[in-house]
Amino acid sequence: MSPQFVQYLLTGLTVGAIYALVALGFSIIFNASHVINFAQGEFVMIGGMATVSLVAVGLPYLLAIPLAIATAALVGLALEKFAVEPARDASVVTLIIITIGASMFLRGLAMLVWDKNLHALKPITGDKPIAIAGATILPQSVWVLGVTLAIVVALSWFFGRTLLGKAMLATSHNRLAAQLVGINVRMVLFLSFGLSAALGAIAGILIAPITTTSYDVGVMLGLKGFAAAILGGLGSGIGAVIGGLVLGIVETMSAGYLSSAYKDAIAFVIILVVLFFLPSGLFGKRGGERV
């Protein structure tokens, strides 16, 4: 492997891991409600921007990061409580439109609360590149990959081993049966928004030192995460992770070997190709629902 290839691969994995976190957020809410939450990108933005503000007032990362994640989670919970829950009997399409509106609202609010400038966060541990096989990787990329891995492990423990996690999964597979065993499905949806928002915020914080952050960073990251979720198969956890990594790598490779002008177009080409040829994605449920 040429050092150049290794370099693209490492960069691709880093951005891919961020897309994977955003895609996981999409999938968790989709599972709880079949709603595609287009405000997912705003959680990413809130995570990054809130950390910038908290660091600016002098808080160390150790406090600023958990506070920023909690802020985003609270915004996610509030979004569910005040925008989605009151319309819970409406159709899924209506709910999706509500999330689009919420995303515009949050972006506008962010512009007022903060500003329109780009902000860079300091890397968590220095910025001296580490050499690997002729290529280099930033310490921040190691953080991105490590934290993403830890989150994937934690989520598979949560959904595979805990009763609450299994109840959330059960709700996604059969909402009626979940209600009949006494699972509070409204609570599941509420928790899903909080969890998704926290995941988005983590993504936003991790990527901010590498790409900078601003009030509208959620638009592109949200769409990329959506593309990753579609590629992996909406609702599939493993699909979200693989979809994110594949998208990140393909994007970086095409930027490196073809032209960086088309970098952002890759995600949309992938959405189109997947929808045409593989509508349920790589790991999604096949076929229609059985009645």
Partner 1 sequence: MMLEVEGLASRYGRIPALSGINLRVGEGELVSLVGANGAGKTTLLRALSGVQPVSAGRVHFEGEDITAAAAEKRVRLGIVQVPEGRQVFAPLSVEDNLRLGAYLRSKAEAAESMERIYAMFPVLKQKRREPAGALSGGQQQMLAMGRGLMALPRLLLLDEPSMGLAPKLVEEIFACVRALKSAKTTIFLVDQNARAALAVADRAYVLETGRIVLAGSGAELLENEQVKEAYLGL
Question: What does the binding site for partner 1 look like in residue numbers (CB under 8 A)?
Answer: 163, 166-167, 169-170, 173-174, 176-184
**How far, CA to CA in Å, does 287 sit from each of 14, 23, 64, 273, 290?**
33, 22, 45, 18, 9
Query: Toward partner 1, which CB reaches closer, 57 or 163?
Result: 163
**Residue 275 Cβ, how far from partner 1 at the closest point, in Å?**
24
The gap between the terminal CA atoms of the chain, to the nearest Å, is 51
Closest CA to 173 of 161, 195, 188: 188
Query: Toward partner 1, which CB reaches closer, 84 or 167?
Result: 167
Closest CA to 106 of 164, 187, 193: 193
Query: Toward partner 1, which CB reaches closer, 178 or 242?
Result: 178
**Residue 12 Cβ, how far from partner 1 at the closest point, in Å?**
31
**Residue 215 Cβ, how far from partner 1 at the closest point, in Å?**
39
Query: Toward partner 1, which CB reaches closer, 177 or 265?
Result: 177
How many other C-beta atoms are found inside a 10 Å radius of the C-beta of residue 2?
10
Query: Toward partner 1, which CB reaches closer, 162 or 260?
Result: 162
Query: Toward partner 1, which CB reaches closer, 175 or 263?
Result: 175
**Residue 161 Cβ, how far from partner 1 at the closest point, in Å?**
10
How open is the CA angle 220-223-228, to the nearest 5 degrees?
Answer: 125
Query: Toward partner 1, which CB reaches closer, 176 or 261?
Result: 176
**Residue 26 Cβ, how far from partner 1 at the closest point, in Å?**
19
Cβ burial of 124 (10 Å; 0-12, 13-18, 19+) is: middle
**Residue 242 Cβ, how far from partner 1 at the closest point, in Å?**
18
Query: Toward partner 1, which CB reaches closer, 112 or 181?
Result: 181
Q: Give me the residues paired with residue 130 across strands.
A: 137
Token pair for 59: 């808080």
**Residue 233 Cβ, how far from partner 1 at the closest point, in Å?**
13
Please give the distance of CA 227 from its chain centroid, rounded to a whole number. Answer: 11
Q: Helix and strand tally (H, E) in the chain?
A: 11, 2
Q: Please spell the DSSP secondary structure of 157-219, one letter per residue.
A: HHHHH-HHHHHHHHHHH-HHHHHHTT--HHHHHHHHHHHHHHHHHHHHHHHHHHH-B-TTHHH
User: What SS3 state is found at 151?
Assistant: helix
User: What SS3 state is found at 15?
Assistant: helix
